[in-house]
Amino acid sequence: MENLFKPLAMAAAMTIAPTLSLADDWAPPGPITMMIGFSAGGGADTQARLIAQGLEEKYGWKVLPQQLTGNSGLSLAAELAKAPADGSVIGMVVSETLTYSALAVGDPGLQLENFTSLATTAKFELGLVAMAGGAFDSWDKVATAGTEGTPIRFGIASDRQGDVAYLFGQAVGIDWNIVPVKGGAGVMNGLRGGDLDLGWVAGAQSKPVQQGEMVNIASGIQTALTDSPDAPLITDLGSPFVIDGYFMFIAPGDLAPQARTAIGAAISDVINDPATEANALITKSFGGPDVITGDALDTRMQQLLDDAAHLLEQANAS
């Protein structure tokens, strides 16, 4: 075991060392304002603040978190677009903000090409969630009720989620009663209060699912959910689309490559370090870190942009 461990440890050190040196090659011109496009106290907000804490502890950078919510992250993007492109202002949104949401509003100034993608932190662990032990706590129960014409109240927290739910319903022959709410917390509150029967939640359901209060009746992403590996994929049930995506940090466009590389490397370092509180939270509540930076992130964002364009085309044609 000892002979096996030493090469692995050396390989890990070689992997981590370049990341640290890249971040050490650049320093912000002053305090970094970290805009957070999520409601205070939620899982995404806590994730962002713990990353800010980690950046301060590891690099000595002063990071000032501030809430800037609204319009599916586009309110944040609009303010970020006005900020200096020197690494002094960054924002945390979801990939949906600069793909689906930006395309939907059509504002030229809010399109993906006008921003710098810094780093993803975690992918969506998005499930179709219902109360455990209830009338809709399995896909078979939902499908039976839907085909019998039973009204099913379906909670969504964004227009993209609404479009996928609508097209999913069309594909399986169920006419959902789609109910917009505020965030995943709004969906879960609706489930608990009996105002919703099921709905999309992107990770915040992890604790209630682990505790047996709620159940993921299906995975809304391309892969199985960490907490519910046996839940069917919605594509296997008939949905033509999934709701893949990431929590991520962005900056104004034209950020210097050195600054982009350094900030992305620093965020990656904080998130992937098992000793940080950010890593612990992301591992517990979001299925673990999933960090993409640089050219690989540009490629992934273009893929998500193309998928969003196809979704909007299909939704508008229906």
Which residue type sits at 143? A
Q: Summarize pLDDT for 26-72 with one digit per residue, the tens.
A: 999 999 999 999 988 888 999 999 999 999 999 999 999 999 998 99
The last residue of one of the domains, among 218, 237, 256, is 237
Residues 53 and 200 in one domain: no
Q: Which percentage of the chain shows pLDDT scores above 90? A: 85
Q: Output the pLDDT for position 285.
A: 86
The last residue of one of the domains, among 237, 254, 278, is 237
Phi and psi torsions of 204, nearest 5°: -65, -15
How many structural domains is the chain composed of? 2
Bridge partners of residue 90, in order along the sequence: 34
The two three-digit tokens of residue 308, written as one number: 């969003």
Distance between CA 312 and CA 74 in Å, rounded?
Answer: 17
Residues 92 and 189 in one domain: no
Residues 75 and 140 in one domain: no
131 and 211 Cβ atoms separated by less than 8 Å: no
pLDDT of 228 > 70? The answer is: yes
Distance between CA 150 and CA 143 in Å, rounded?
Answer: 10
Residues 65 and 214 in one domain: no
Residues 77 and 133 in one domain: no
Residues 31 and 108 in one domain: yes
Phi and psi torsions of 84, nearest 5°: -65, 140
The two three-digit tokens of residue 293, written as one number: 């930076």
pTM: 0.86
Residues 110 and 258 in one domain: yes
CATH of the domain at 153: 3.40.190.10
Residues 151 and 50 in one domain: no
Residues 118-122: what's their mean pLDDT?
97
CB atoms within 10 A of CB 40: 11
Residues 66 and 43 in one domain: yes
Average pLDDT, the chain: 91
**82-96: burial string, b at 16+ Cβ within 10 Å, e else:** eeebebbbbbbbbbb
The last residue of one of the domains, among 213, 237, 261, is 237
251 and 116 Cβ atoms separated by less than 8 Å: yes
Q: Which percentage of the chain shows pLDDT scores above 70? A: 92
Residues 93 and 116 in one domain: yes
Phi and psi torsions of 200, nearest 5°: -80, 135
Q: Output the pLDDT for position 203.
A: 86
Largest Cα–Cα separation, the chain: 64
CATH of the domain at 49: 3.40.190.150
Residues 253 and 111 in one domain: yes
Give me the domain span that covers residue 223. Answer: 126-237
119 and 263 Cβ atoms separated by less than 8 Å: yes
Residues 83 and 134 in one domain: no
91 and 35 Cβ atoms separated by less than 8 Å: yes
